[in-house]
Amino acid sequence: MAVPKLQKNSGKKSLFPQLCNFIYLIPSLPNQFIYTKQKKVYSIEDVKSYEQQTKEFLKYSSATEINDAEALRNVLRFHEYRYYVISEPLLTDYDYDMLYKLLQEWEKAHPENIPADSPTQRVGSSLNKDFPKRQHLVPMLSLDNSYNADDLVEWDRRVRESTGLDEIMYCAEPKFDGASISLQYEDDQLVAATTRGDGEVGDDITLNAKQIRSVPLSASFSKYGIAQIEIRGEVMMNKQSFASFNEGLAGEGLATLANPRNAAAGSLRMKDSRQVARRNLEAFLYNVSFERDKTADNKQKPTTHSGMLQMLWQLGFKSPVKEMKVLKGIGEVIKFIGEYEESRDSLAYEIDGMVIKVDSLELQDKLGMTSHHPRWAMAYKYKARQAESVLIGVEYQVGRTGAVTPVAKIKPVQVSGVTVGSISIHNEDYIKEKDLKLGDKIIIERSGDVIPQIVRSVTEDRTGKETEIIFPTTCPVCNDALYKPEGEAVWRCVNINCKAQVVERIIHFVSKDAMDIKGFGEANVRRFYEQEIITDIPSIYHLQEDKLQGLEGFGQKSIENLLVGIEASKTQALHRIIYALGIRYVGETTAKTLAQVITTIFELKDKTIEELQVVDDVGVKVAASLHEFFANEDNIHMLEELQNAGIVMERAASTGTAEGKFTGMTFLFTGTLAQLKRSEAEADVEAHGGKILSGVSSKLTYLIVGADAGSKLEKAKKMTGIKILSEEEFLKMI
Ligand code: IVH
């Protein structure tokens, strides 16, 4: 049971604060971690110093208080780097904007002293080195920000003055809080997708963008007389996908991400584009930044921004036509954005404000741009939903893989209609980074309706009575010593018989994506475990009906349903059994891949770490974890018990036995396929009687090579008798 315990006073210091600092924020993005580590842009001392300076500058109420503007620029550069380059922001957008405005105000008063590299003189920050670079057709600018009705009225006044009009037609739409992207289409075909980068040049992430289903691979722009077009938008992970993505991370014993924006930005930069497809991303396209017409007098295309969004919608893009509204004058705009804010929590995805654009494209041209933002658009930032509370205590929960997660207990407080009483504070380093103490006054924020988080502790209000949070050295449930592997952020209980882990493993085993035993559910598992009706995973299959009888709220019908569910689970597919075992790092996808290369689960017992790594998607970390699991006698004993209880541990007969033109031939796919999904390609082979192999060997007939193929291709080249084909050649064969 995950019985949480209150904080006691004894503990150990982390040996790896800076390493862990980076790991826990981006656990699934090892490339970025390596990049951060190698680049060493800011040392841990720098981070501390900038955080201190940030706090100081945030206290300033006017630019007249500034005596070192370059220090403020460096603070802003530091936060840009955290946000744009490594996707690990340390500041809320609102606070960043406040500092930015402060510098703008100072520079306005001292125009002779603005260096060319001031954060106000450019967009974005230095580049991420990993992907090929690509130039935007038009620089990707930012937006000017407003925070209240007065700001909007003032902007409207400027727009009316510049255009000489009494009243302007505006288009208001959500300000999507994701990762920005630009798409280029030529002759109706998608030719490139690029991240924002420094605004001029971004990372070419075309392959990754193609994995997002809402990005059309082709669209009939020619119908509108358009030959070439560049479209801007935002890639988003919706709240629900984000919640299950985080659940998956937690389930695999990894630290979770703070918000959907980080998840979307990280996903776009993944090296393996196939992984992107699994992340359920969506792309909202909201602006046409460049277009070239087929003929000089093109009359077919829209003349307003809202018309452009309609056109994009017609062409199959997810443009915000349902969300946008065309409004007459700034008064209507102010009313609309106020109303929209009320529905913010019920949206499927995160927005952080609204964007108001002058609707007429002719007027937009007339108004033009500054070096930072267009004059025809204005972002209206909604206030972060923050509240003040007090940190009362810390409880420690033990998960399925033994990970010990500290959970802050706070004085219950309402944030956008929901009462928050506890907040995950991730791990020991997070506590240090946020400088949290028991008794602290804290500011909390709800990022969407998903996860509340602590923004900061109000250190300036400390009374001296606050006490250190000391991470426990022993498991709060079984009392065994906790252990933290080098380079990891999470303390673990390594006693696999720890009751907390056992019950969490049973919950995972019966869950929907695993064995899917209907009628169980988390609450029942906990209850049956406490009453010793079940004691471990195999005991599920020896459950005695009479022990269930008489349980409050668990009638005959419930008992029958549960028993039917248990019986049905005995013939679940092999990959579900592998996933259900809850082996660290083995998620659903890896379980599926593994199930394809074995016929019975016991084969995994005999594979070495090297042999396991031959399997697609299995790296050294996963292989080592599998090896550790299957080397443990207790685990093998459990599998035997399950087999004796009637669970089918074998893969259902493969379709590879079908007769066809590939009968007697073997295939292996490597690298990223452009047109087919790996699973589809493999199904095609099997449907034609061929067999899929898991590695390059003398038994292999064909190696089909996609983009960025690596060691398998090299190995096959050195061997005789293996035919190496491109994806195109394979498609011709089938
Ligand atoms: S228009 C030339 N519309 O917010 C200006 N941007 O904070 C093009 N954003 O850089 C941008 N929702 O990445 C526009 N409906 C929307 C938006 C939006 C989100 C992003 C965009 C922009 C950033 C500025």
| Predicted pLDDT at 345 | 78
Mean pLDDT for the chain?
85
User: Is the Cβ–Cβ distance between 655 and 687 less than 8 Å?
Assistant: yes
- The binding-site residues of ligand 1, defined as CB within 6 angstroms of any ligand atom, are 141-143, 173, 175-176, 180, 232, 234, 286-287, 355, 374, 377, 379
| Predicted pLDDT at 642 | 96
| Predicted pLDDT at 450 | 58
For the stretch 646-679, pLDDT in tens is 999 888 754 445 677 887 788 889 888 888 887 7
Please, which pLDDT band fits residue 711 given cuts at 50, 70 and 90?
Answer: confident
Residue given tokens 């008992």 in the structure block: 559
User: Is the Cβ–Cβ distance between 572 and 516 less than 8 Å?
Assistant: yes
State how far the Cα of 476 lies from the Cα of 676, in Å rounded to an integer.
49
What the block records as the tokens of 346 is 């019920």
CB atoms near residue 692 (< 10 Å): 19
| Predicted pLDDT at 86 | 54
326 phi/psi in degrees, rounded to 5: -90, 130
If you measure from the C-alpha of residue 123 to the centroid of ligand 1, how many angstroms do you get, rounded to a whole number? 13
| Predicted pLDDT at 719 | 81
Global pTM? 0.53
Please, which pLDDT band fits residue 127 given cuts at 50, 70 and 90?
Answer: very low
Is-catalytic flag, 175? yes
Lowest mean per-residue pLDDT among 32-41, 305-314, 561-570, 711-720: 32-41
Query: Which range has the top average pLDDT, 13-22, 174-183, 594-603?
Result: 174-183
CB atoms near residue 714 (< 10 Å): 10
Please, which pLDDT band fits residue 478 given cuts at 50, 70 and 90?
Answer: very high
Half-sphere exposure of 278 (CA within 13 A, CB side): 15
Three-state DSSP state, 214: coil
Lowest mean per-residue pLDDT among 22-26, 113-117, 168-172, 664-668: 22-26
| Predicted pLDDT at 27 | 28
Please name which of 457, 404, 416 lies closest in space to residue 434, comparing C-alpha atoms. Answer: 457
Catalytic residue among 8, 175, 434, 712: 175
- Is residue 122 over pLDDT 60? no
* DSSP structure string for 495-533: -TT-HHHHHHHHHHHHSTTTT--TT-HHHHHHHHHHTTS
For the stretch 438-464, pLDDT in tens is 999 999 987 655 578 899 999 999 999
Half-sphere exposure of 465 (CA within 13 A, CB side): 6
Please name which of 325, 489, 500 lies closest in space to residue 395, comparing C-alpha atoms. Answer: 500
Taking CA atoms, 36 is separated from 22, 261, 397, in Å, by 8, 19, 30
Three-state DSSP state, 350: coil
Lowest mean per-residue pLDDT among 20-34, 85-99, 352-366: 20-34
Three-state DSSP state, 233: strand
| Predicted pLDDT at 13 | 28
| Cα dihedral 583/584/585/589 (nearest 10) | 20
Average pLDDT over residues 5-18: 29
| Predicted pLDDT at 211 | 81
Quick one: CA dihedral 127, 130, 133, 136, positive or negative? negative
If you measure from the C-alpha of residue 461 to the centroid of ligand 1, how many angstroms do you get, rounded to a whole number? 37
Please, which pLDDT band fits residue 30 given cuts at 50, 70 and 90?
Answer: very low
State how far the Cα of 120 lies from the Cα of 109, in Å rounded to an integer.
14
- Is residue 529 over pLDDT 90? yes
| Predicted pLDDT at 12 | 29
What the block records as the tokens of 336 is 């609309």
If you measure from the C-alpha of residue 142 to the centroid of ligand 1, how many angstroms do you get, rounded to a whole number? 7
Pairing mode, if any, of strands 226-237 and 145-146? unpaired
For the stretch 155-204, pLDDT in tens is 999 999 999 999 999 999 999 999 999 999 999 989 999 999 888 899 99
Where is pLDDT greater, at 38 or 436? 436
CB atoms near residue 509 (< 10 Å): 24
| Among 180, 347, 365, residue to substitute to test ligand 1 (most atoms within 8 Å of Cβ) | 180
For the stretch 194-243, pLDDT in tens is 999 888 899 999 888 888 878 888 888 999 999 999 999 999 998 888 88
If you measure from the C-alpha of residue 233 to the centroid of ligand 1, how many angstroms do you get, rounded to a whole number? 7
- Is residue 392 over pLDDT 90? yes
Where is pLDDT greater, at 503 or 269? 503
State how far the Cα of 44 lies from the Cα of 51, in Å rounded to an integer.
11
